[in-house]
């Protein structure tokens, strides 16, 4: 129980650091002849300062080359100034323009964007909660609609569910804000285009079974098929999973059908590529023997052989709108609004290229 000597942590001038020019707010304050609170206010609420003080502070910031320490700010404010984007497969070029839109919108708010590929995560739920709880992110844009309910429950338990926005795909049962293309309309456009070319036997390669895009695109296809009174064949609806490989598998199944369709509407451009390459490998020509429509309009669709007819999604708009929606969700000054749960729907367009043509065998009931 002796008197304890006062112990000092060593500290001389700007802190020793891995960085050479580590300027702190107190160094700026010294140069400007004000307190650190004033420097901080100059950055966050400049209207609180007189013009003379403001100019003096900004001059000191410039002279010193000061950069705010984000870790210190995050610690004090409990705001990381960053969001996380969950992408189901970074190897799919579809996501790049969405990411560009997100980056642009969040950059305007001086926020950082972290990107994670859910293929590389064992469980996305725990990853997410971890990032929230350890002060690394303020919100999430999720492009992956296959998050299980059990993982979404983790978000709710930890109170972070209201900081998540879905883009492109969504989890229907989650009741969370989302931005999406008009998938039903896209499917309708595809089927109608094939119909107007004269096709009556139209197949559809879907996405994965439990996927909302799969349901929506198939729904649009089935509705338009019914509206146009096209023949119905269960075996013309073939299960896929948005990947190149599933397009190949679907092609093999379609080639084995007793009654072949003359056209195929694919749930994604990648599926279409897988399908077309396999049809060609088996001696069929696209579009002469079978017309093919994709969904997405990724960059390569114009450079495939034949150039792919597809449904264009405005990916950039999907990104910027999702980012705007998330900014609303995480803004502490904004109250929760029920209308945020209503999906934001972005329009789609048909892009006609070389992979579709009139069928070479004219079906009964052909127009004109």
Partner DNA sequence: ATTATAAATGTAATCGATTACATGAGAATG
Partner DNA sequence: CATTCTCATGTAATCGATTACATTTATAAT
Tokens of 42: 């100059």
Q: Is 114 in the site for its own copies (CB under 8 A)?
A: yes
Q: For residues 36 and 219, which CB has a smaller minimum distance to DNA in the complex?
A: 36
Q: Which stretch binds DNA (CB under 7 A): 43-51, 83-91, 167-175, 238-246?
A: 43-51
Q: Which does 209 bind (CB under 5 to 8 A by kind): DNA, its own copies, none?
A: none
Residue 112 interface partner, choices DNA, its own copies, none, CB cut-off 5-8 Å depending on type: its own copies
Q: Is residue 123 close enough to count as binding its own copies by CB under 8 A?
A: no
Give min distance, CB of 47 to its own copies, in A: 24
User: How many CA atoms lie within 13 Å of 208's alpha carbon, on the beta-carbon side?
Assistant: 12
Please pick, from the candidates 33, 46, 148, 159, the single residue that binds its own copies as defined by CB under 8 A: 159
**Could you tell me the smallest distance in angstroms from the CB atom of residue 161 to DNA?**
21
- Residue 5, interface with its own copies (CB under 8 A)? no
Residue 173 interface partner, choices DNA, its own copies, none, CB cut-off 5-8 Å depending on type = none
Q: Is 2 near its own copies (CB under 8 A)?
A: no
Distance of CA 160 to the CA centre of its chain: 19
Positions touching DNA (CB under 7 A) are 1-11, 14-15, 17, 22, 24-26, 33-41, 43-44, 48-50, 52-53, 66-69, 72-73, 75-78
């Amino acid at each position: 129980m002796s008197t304890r000597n006062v112990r000092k942590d060593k500290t001389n001038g700007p802190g020793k650091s891995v960085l050479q020019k580590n300027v702190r707010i107190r160094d700026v304050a010294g140069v400007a002849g004000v307190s650190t609170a004033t420097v901080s206010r100059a950055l966050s609420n400049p209207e609180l300062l007189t013009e003379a003080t403001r100019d003096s502070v900004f001059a000191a910031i410039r002279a010193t080359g000061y950069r705010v320490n984000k870790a210190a700010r995050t610690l004090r404010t409990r705001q990381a100034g960053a969001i996380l984007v969950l992408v189901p497969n970074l190897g799919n070029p579809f996501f790049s323009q969405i990411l560009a839109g997100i980056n642009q919108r969040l950059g305007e708010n001086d926020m950082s964007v972290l990107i994670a590929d859910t293929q590389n995560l064992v469980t996305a739920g725990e990853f997410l909660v971890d990032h929230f709880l350890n002060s690394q992110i303020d919100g999430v844009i999720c492009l992956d609609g296959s998050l299980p309910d059990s993982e979404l429950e983790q978000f709710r338990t930890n109170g972070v569910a209201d900081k998540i926005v879905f883009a492109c795909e969504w989890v229907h049962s989650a009741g969370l804000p989302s931005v999406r293309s008009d998938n039903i309309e896209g499917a309708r456009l595809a089927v109608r285009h094939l119909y107007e070319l004269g096709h009556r036997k139209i197949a559809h390669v879907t996405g994965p079974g439990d996927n909302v895009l799969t349901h929506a695109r198939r729904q649009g296809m089935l509705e338009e098929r019914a509206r146009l009174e096209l023949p119905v064949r269960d075996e013309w609806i073939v299960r896929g999973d948005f990947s190149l490989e599933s397009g190949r598998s679907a092609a093999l199944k379609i080639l084995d059908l007793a009654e072949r369709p003359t056209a195929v509407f694919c749930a994604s451009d990648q599926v279409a590529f897988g399908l077309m390459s396999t049809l060609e490998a088996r001696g069929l020509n696209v579009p002469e023997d079978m017309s093919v429509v994709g969904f997405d309009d990724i960059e390569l669709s114009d450079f495939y052989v034949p150039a792919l007819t597809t449904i264009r999604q405005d990916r950039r708009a999907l990104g910027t709108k999702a980012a705007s929606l998330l900014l609303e969700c995480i803004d502490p000054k904004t109250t929760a609004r029920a209308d945020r749960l209503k999906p934001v729907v972005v329009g789609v367009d048909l892009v006609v290229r070389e992979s579709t043509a009139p069928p070479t065998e004219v079906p009964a009931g052909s127009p004109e």
